[in-house]
A and B are shown apart, each in its own frame.
Chain A
Amino acid sequence: MEEGISLNQNNNTINSVTVKEDKKLLAKIWDKTVDLGVSVQEAKINMRPTQIKILSVFCPELKPIIEPVTKFYESDSGKKYLEGQKEGIRIAGNVLKGDTDEAKKQCQEMLDSINSENGDNMVNMANDINGMLTEINEAGGMKK
């Protein structure tokens, strides 16, 4: 066992390994993990001899929100919804660049794409969004 590490198995406290760390270093880590948590990213690193997956910050308060949102974006409806959002950003980017002809073309393509969807698909998407919001709400994710 490394120097400075102790295995705390006292019945009066939480069982854990304890190490000493500088508070300033912890503050830096905290800032970075919160950033990762906010953007709901998982950073993967390769290390010898295995792989560690950083789960950003373990924050149970976020779990009721992240899980239904992730599930929705993984569904067919969610993928279409996300593609629509991304296309909207691409159109806005072209408008900002002054390429309004390209933006107009993209808008028409987006409209054609929406028009080509049948009613059932749109109802399914609405139901999936409603399900996601209900799940978040029931898990207490939107309550203060």
Chain B
Amino acid sequence: MTQIVVTGLGAVSPFGVGVKAYWDGVRSGTCAIRPVTLIEADGFRCRIAAEVPGPLPGSARRSRGDRMALGAAREALDDAGLGACERREMALIVGAVGGGMLEGEAWYWALKRGGRRLRAPQLSLRSILPWSHAEVIGSRLGLEGPRETIVTACSSGAASLAIAADLVADGVVPAALAGGADTLTRLCFMGFNALRLLDPDPCRPFDRDRRGMSIGEGAAFVVLEDAAHARARGARVYAELAGYGMTTDAFHVTSPHPAGEGMVRAMQAALARARVEPGAVGYANAHGTGTLQNDRIEAGALREVFGDGGLLVSSTKSMIGHTMAAAGSLEAVATVLALVHETVPPTAHLTTPDPEVAFDCVPGAAREVSLECAISNSFGFGGQNVTLLFRCP
């Protein structure tokens, strides 16, 4: 069976541009959730989010989402040291939800509120759909292999890695660029407010006093490569993507299955595909949104799969919020770097652990620990569960 390895990382996060800024922020347990500036938040219970600080890389003629996606994609390709020739045959799989909706909303808001059409609708509308990120990255960076845009709600970023891994494993391509991107949008911010799922304060996953999630934005990409191909060109290998599981609850549009049945199957499928025993997994980067429902059900599912042992569990969302389609890929990058640095990033704002959560959720400060394998969980509306399993090379 083809071994799939990670040879490049790229990130644009609420800590700024670049993987270094992202890892520094995540490792130090810094919270990047602040008052919203990109959109109007008046009248909402929650008025905070984790925005990517300016200035963004790339042309202002592109949408915010395309700029973040392109920035992270470029960093990952450069990091992997892949030249133009190798790039040409690479697959490009992008997880996306909001696309260029932020700019599309501005156009629509102006139309509905003032009855005026914003000038240059080409700029605000051309890149509105999720597929825009892939088209921009593909054409700018010269990727001519299989191209796909995947929408599995909040697990889109993780699903993109799974699908890319399949294309490499099937021998369709020797390498793939995979990841997700999402900006803050009015629709998303208003919708989660309407669902009463947002904490007015920065989210507190796994804390007894949690009151909901925070929204964030960002982009992350990884280069996945056939291990033999990576070895042949002398590439640096961060980790192996040893397995994944992708399942569907088929239960409810917004609520996870109460017993976490689909989550359990996703984690078990990842273990089975990687031929790894649960005991070999030392760290789980949780979906960890900070809603009562998610945290309790995810903790129960983790317990069912990994038992009450020494698994460390932490939530990157406690620092950068829920970055939607980017979440699965940003958290995959954090999981890979946890293996590389043998350091588990902490859960921020965790002061009073929920007694119903049977795990050490690494409150406040990062933990140095030797790790063999780690998983990253991502779950989305529509019962879309993805687990990625990484192993030290």
A binds B: no
